[in-house]
Amino acid sequence: MKNLSADVTRQAEAVQTALRESLVGLYLYGSAVAGGLRAESDVDLLAVISSRLEHGERAQLIAVLLHVSGRRAYDGPARPVELTVMLAEDLDPWRPVVQLQYGEWLRDDAIADRLPGPHVDPDATLLLAMARDAGISLFGPSAQELLPDIPHGAVRSAIVQSLPSLMEDLDGDERNVVLTLARMQATLDTGRFLPKDAAAEELAVTAPTDQAEMLRTAAAAYRGEIVDDWDQLAPALKDFVARVSASINAAS
């Protein structure tokens, strides 16, 4: 794990320790491998396991994540982790079934043992595609060896299917929704997975003036350069969400 930040190294080691013999592969993807972590970036990890999580294994994994992830980490503030756990048998043939997902937005649910069990999640298709495209193996074979090659048509379908759940988060999580929409649109346009801020900057080039300003503001805030005020950006936000949502739905 050379050249990784102390947070990422500690977090990856915690996941490996919790999953032990069932861990087949652990992959770092997202901003960490696409130009570097931004100020507000999560550490994106994908774990592939050989057998379904027993209750004790699941509880131990959640416990270690609560210790090492985010501003509220029990061991002291750290980068937030977004961990997705998938079963090896669901990769060949490929199915977007998530065994467990943890992120700081789910911390309170994790503490209360309310995280969902195994479930189909179209977003898992996108995570698999991103991890296979540029993921770094922290344990096990390379991403290209273990993870399925997701056809672009399946990526397009997953983007469309992921839109409704993303929209549920708009109120209160405006920046993340805007940046995720920008990346979705950029992926549909180019077939590439860009960093969120880069996708926003790219869309800003052709967006209406007020929406372009909003996109650049969201990107700058994501990098920690400014503080964003979404009350002031509300009109542009409404128009942007309507425009890009319609464009994404048209791709179905």
Q: Is 250 left (phi over 0), alpha (psi -120 to 50) or beta?
A: alpha
Active site annotation includes 82: yes
User: Which helix H or strand E contains 91, and what residues bound it?
Assistant: none
Whole-structure pTM over 0.85, yes or no? Answer: yes
Per-residue pLDDT of the chain (252 residues; tens, 9 = 90+): 556 789 999 999 999 999 999 999 999 999 999 888 888 999 999 999 999 999 999 999 999 999 999 999 999 999 999 999 999 999 999 999 999 999 999 999 999 999 999 999 999 999 999 999 999 999 999 999 999 999 999 999 999 999 999 999 999 999 999 999 999 999 999 999 999 999 999 999 999 999 999 999 999 999 999 999 999 999 999 999 999 999 999 998
Q: What single-letter amino acid sits at 252?
A: S
Task: Residue 38: name the closest of 150, 162, 165, 183 by CA.
Answer: 183
**Cα–Cα–Cα angle for 240, 245, 247, rounded to 5 degrees:** 100
Measured at the alpha carbon of residue 209, what is the angle toward residues 176 and 212, in degrees to the nearest 5?
25
Domain boundaries of the chain, sorted by first residue: 6-150, 154-249
Give the span between the Cα atoms of 190 and 3, in whole angstroms: 30
Question: Of the residues 57, 82, 174, 201, which is catalytic?
Answer: 82
DSSP state of 119: E
